[in-house]
């Protein structure tokens, strides 16, 4: 597994865990906090993939 695949897997694992906690959480405040974290992780994953794509297509 490459370093890039490990990073994506790490982000995906955190997303999976956060989604699971949202489903079992009874506190509305905690759900809002977790949904905010999920949105952040999705943006982080998208940014990582776009940077990876850029460096693959534009090697220095």
Q: Mean pLDDT score of the chain, rounded to an integer?
A: 90
Instruction: Read off the pLDDT band of 12 (50, 70, 90).
Output: very high
- What is the C-alpha separation between 19 and 41, in angstroms, rounded? 11
**Contact by Cβ (8 Å): 25, 31:** yes
* Per-position b or e across 38-60, b if 16+ CB within 10 A of its CB: beebeeebeeeeeeeeeeeeeee
* pLDDT score recorded for residue 41: 94
pLDDT, tens only, 16-33? 999 898 888 888 888 899
pTM for the model: 0.76
Question: 45 pLDDT band (50/70/90 cuts)?
Answer: very high
């Amino acid at each position: 597994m490459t370093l890039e695949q490990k990073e994506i897997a790490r982000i995906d694992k955190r997303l999976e865990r956060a989604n699971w906690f949202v489903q079992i959480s009874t506190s509305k405040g905690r759900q809002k906090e977790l949904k905010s974290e999920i949105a952040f992780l999705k943006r982080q994953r998208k940014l990582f993939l776009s940077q990876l794509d850029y460096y693959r297509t534009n090697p220095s």
